Structure 1
Amino acid sequence: MKMSMLRRYFRRTTGGVVTELRLVTLRGDRGKLCAQTVASVVFAVYLADIFNLKERWWVALSAYALIRASPTVVFRRCLERLAGTVIGASIGVLLATMASRQSGLTVVALSFVSGLGVYCMLGSPYSYSWVLGTVTAIMVLSDAVGVDSSPSLAVNRVLDVSVGVLATATISAASFSIERLLRRGPSSVNLSGPSERSSRDSFTPHVAECSRSTRIWQALQGAIAIALIGSVNHFHALPNFVQSMVSVIAVLLVSPLVLLNGHVEEAVHVRMFNRLLGCFCAVLFAAPLLPLIGDTPFLCLLVLGTGVWLAAHVQAGSGEVSYIGTQFGVGFIMIFVQDYAWSTDASAALQRLWGILVALLILTATMAAFSEVGRKFRLHGRGDV
């Protein structure tokens, strides 16, 4: 991204975030959506503690990512997330068994799964399932190297997501039932966020066919970036190997309309900066609070709920800053919801955030190399003409 474009991005983004924060309210459709999101995350953490799940942050993230204004959309996303997780976990176990804990074969398998997943998620109306399937497969495959039983690892991943899905579905159903009892009916305002409004509605077989070459190009970039991350991790352990790979998959997911208009590289760069900016703001806002509130569950839940509310509010706003709200919520949950129990130690969360930074740097370098290759290829083609 050029410096002029970067300056415009920061001016536009800063103004958009400030505008959204000025609109924060506890009432109305938007306030109700934020309240549902907070309730889902808090309930998911409560269930994770009851079932003694280690990856509490992943349970909370599952709940955070699923809530939408429409109960129909919520339940569809719950099913897609659960189905993608189960399939991805199964593929991860299969590939882990075939790789036999050999690092070289594992990196090749990770690269292949990532490339295939990126290609399919960009060309399918069920892209959310493909995203979760790809992410779960690489999580199980990468973690299987250091555990005795990859099937048990896969089962734990499915349980984490199932608990998050259960929390979200329960809160959404309860909210919908209360509305019906009060005779208000479901929300008439679509607060699903721009990516959710457009991804399925704008998908057609024509989109997938016309953008085939772009999808292949994106898949190759994703596969090579994952291979590079895996190679770096082999020689020098990264702060959080898994989070680095997940970040690559996340930022490469662009809408079908972007695939057609040819602005894919710019859209990915914007998603990269938004992910980085959202997580960075979460660190600045949340990390200093940890030593102040200690490990008191009530205070932790209160601050967590406040951060999630702000994230959900921005996420439901304009398309230019919606993804920043999403990533702010991701970073905030990573910091406050630690493994097993509440703690003032944010080292694990900060390692995950460092993993995100490493991934974005490697992906940026990969995209720059691909862009240069593409430019030379086009110039060479014009020379032949």
Structure 2
Amino acid sequence: MLFNFTIGLRTSLIVTLASVIALVVNMQEPWWAAMSAMTVANADWTNVWRKGMQRVIGTIAGGFCGYWIAIAVKNFELFQWTTLGIMAALAIYKRMASPNYAYAWLMGIVTAMLAIYFAMVEIDSLFFLMVDRTLTVAIGVATATVVSYSFLENSSIGVGLGPFIIPNIDTMDKSWVVALCLSGAVVAVLAPIVYAGHDLSAMIQIIITSLVVLYGPVVSVKQFAITRSVGCFAGALMGFVLIGLGLQSFFWWVLLVALGLFFLGAVQAGKSYWTYAGQQGGYAYVIAALASSGPVDNFNQVLDRQVGVILGAIIAVCVLVVIRIWQGADFPDIEHMNRKKIQRAKTKRT
């Protein structure tokens, strides 16, 4: 089943409501509220509670630790780069080694890394930026929690999670785990260089995308990269259509945002290979829709951030391939394709 319109409607309500609340209270980056709401929007109340608490606690802990680490290394570039690389590698490792708290580890370390990136260019406003991000995330989580609890407290409906593969790090090839962690560290250092002079939020998308893609066994990385890229492209395209309409009426703008989220939420809640693409499309869509805190007609700001998402997946996979070559590893997918070609040739001869 590709679509689940019932859950899609609920997801649209949650994310749209979180967006409007963030705009009303004048948060600096309201799309974080929308993204947080879409992340924890799950039909099962226990999942909402668990994911929501991990996101909030991880963000608060990461923001607190990241702020003081950023202050400590603000005048030492070598320490900044080294810290970012270590944090990225740790985020990837802990996400696989601690599946019960993987989301808290990921959000905590990503938030701490953001503090260091912010400190590189906006050290004077670092405290305000971290407080704003924490409060905005809390708005999204609280909205998802209240709506889910109000309407689905006794529901046991499940939500398809697409290509998620929960890895068992004990059974994974150790060289592959090392390659994933090293790749994350390299991307964390490369991101500011690749996006020098561009929008800071766009550069951050490279980091977040790479840490999401570099996860689990070989097939998981491939699926994450493909579905995240396709979803982000589809969501960005929908966002560009919304921007192109040039709506200045807040009512009609909110209505179209809700309709777009309804479609993407229905895909996310389905039971197909592309459910993860629905979630990533929702992220890209709200980033586009909320780029200027309301109705927007600025294509450049939106395009810069969407390119960051695509670059994150491409750079992460390219770095991973280079490291695997350096390790002298084989490529199972290529060998599998060659075996299939040989088998087809034998079948034709017979």
Q: TM-score range by the shorter chain?
A: 0.7 to 0.9
Cα pair distance change 1:307/1:44, threshold 3 Å:
same
Cα-to-partner distance string for 1:187-216 (whole Å, 9 max, x where unaligned): 4x32252467x64xxx7xxx3433372433
Say whether residues 1:128 and 2:128 are aligned partners: no
Say whether residues 1:168 and 2:144 are aligned partners: yes
Q: Is the 8 A contact 2:40 2:48 kept in 1?
A: yes
Aligned-partner residue type, residue 334 of structure 1: I
Q: Is the 8 A contact 1:121 1:128 kept in 2?
A: yes
The whole-number CA distance in structure 1 between the counterparts of 2:236 and 2:137 is: 24
Q: Is the 8 A contact 2:209 2:309 kept in 1?
A: yes
The whole-number CA distance in structure 2 between the counterparts of 1:330 and 1:98 is: 33
The whole-number CA distance in structure 2 between the counterparts of 1:265 and 1:376 is: 12
The whole-number CA distance in structure 2 between the counterparts of 1:104 and 1:302 is: 48
Q: Is the 8 A contact 1:101 1:145 kept in 2?
A: no
Among candidates 251, 272, 291, match of residue 213 of structure 2: 251
Cα pair distance change 1:290/1:377, threshold 3 Å:
closer
The whole-number CA distance in structure 2 between the counterparts of 1:119 and 1:63 is: 26
Q: Is the 8 A contact 2:85 2:189 kept in 1?
A: yes
Cα pair distance change 1:49/1:128, threshold 3 Å:
same
Q: What is the deviation of 1:107? A: 2.2
Cα pair distance change 1:330/1:376, threshold 3 Å:
closer
Q: Indicate the larger mover: 60-69 or 104-113.
A: 104-113
Counterpart for residue 242 of structure 1? 204
Aligned-partner residue type, residue 71 of structure 1: W
The whole-number CA distance in structure 2 between the counterparts of 1:51 and 1:243 is: 25
Say whether residues 1:227 and 2:210 are aligned partners: no
Cα-to-partner distance string for 1:50-92 (whole Å, 9 max, x where unaligned): 2210101111111111111111110111101001101111221
Counterpart for residue 50 of structure 2? 76
Q: Is the 8 A contact 2:180 2:215 kept in 1?
A: no
Among candidates 21, 33, 53, match of residue 47 of structure 1: 21
The whole-number CA distance in structure 2 between the counterparts of 1:109 and 1:327 is: 28
Q: Indicate the larger mover: 62-71 or 140-149.
A: 140-149
Aligned-partner residue type, residue 332 of structure 1: Y
Alignment of 1:234-383 (within 5 A): 236-239=196-199, 240-254=202-216, 264-375=217-328
Q: Is the 8 A contact 1:81 1:132 kept in 2?
A: yes
Structure 1 runs of 4+ with >4 Å offset: none
Say whether residues 1:62 and 2:36 are aligned partners: yes
Q: Is the 8 A contact 1:228 1:362 kept in 2?
A: no
Instruction: Return the TM-score normalized by structure 1.
Output: 0.78
Structure 2: which 5+ runs fail to align?
A: 332-350
The whole-number CA distance in structure 1 between the counterparts of 2:40 and 2:232 is: 19
The whole-number CA distance in structure 1 between the counterparts of 2:58 and 2:240 is: 32
Among candidates 183, 186, 209, match of residue 170 of structure 2: 209
Instruction: Return the TM-score normalized by structure 2.
Output: 0.86
Aligned-partner residue type, residue 191 of structure 2: I
Q: Percent identity?
A: 23
Number of matched pairs: 326
Which fold has the larger relative contact order, with Cα–Cα distance below 8 Å and residues 6 or more apart in sequence? 2
Cα-to-partner distance string for 1:172-231 (whole Å, 9 max, x where unaligned): 111136xxxxxxx524x32252467x64xxx7xxx3433372433311111112222234
Counterpart for residue 35 of structure 1? 9
Counterpart for residue 82 of structure 2? 108
Among candidates 146, 158, 161, match of residue 190 of structure 1: 158
Aligned-partner residue type, residue 212 of structure 2: A
Cα pair distance change 1:307/1:103, threshold 3 Å:
farther
Cα-to-partner distance string for 1:83-114 (whole Å, 9 max, x where unaligned): 11011112211221121154443222211111
Q: Is the 8 A contact 1:293 1:299 kept in 2?
A: no
Q: What is the deviation of 1:269? A: 2.3
The whole-number CA distance in structure 2 between the counterparts of 1:101 and 1:299 is: 48
Cα pair distance change 1:69/1:377, threshold 3 Å:
closer
Q: Is the 8 A contact 1:91 1:137 kept in 2?
A: yes
Q: What is the deviation of 1:167? A: 0.8
The whole-number CA distance in structure 2 between the counterparts of 1:278 and 1:194 is: 12
The whole-number CA distance in structure 1 between the counterparts of 2:330 and 2:255 is: 55
Counterpart for residue 347 of structure 2? none
Q: What is the deviation of 1:293? A: 4.7
The whole-number CA distance in structure 2 between the counterparts of 1:100 and 1:271 is: 34
Q: Please tell me the root mean square deviation across aligned C-alpha atoms, in Å.
A: 2.3
Counterpart for residue 141 of structure 1? 116
The whole-number CA distance in structure 2 between the counterparts of 1:279 and 1:253 is: 18
Aligned-partner residue type, residue 131 of structure 2: V
Q: Is the 8 A contact 2:163 2:223 kept in 1?
A: no
Q: What is the deviation of 1:238? A: 4.3
Q: Indicate the larger mover: 223-232 or 107-116.
A: 223-232
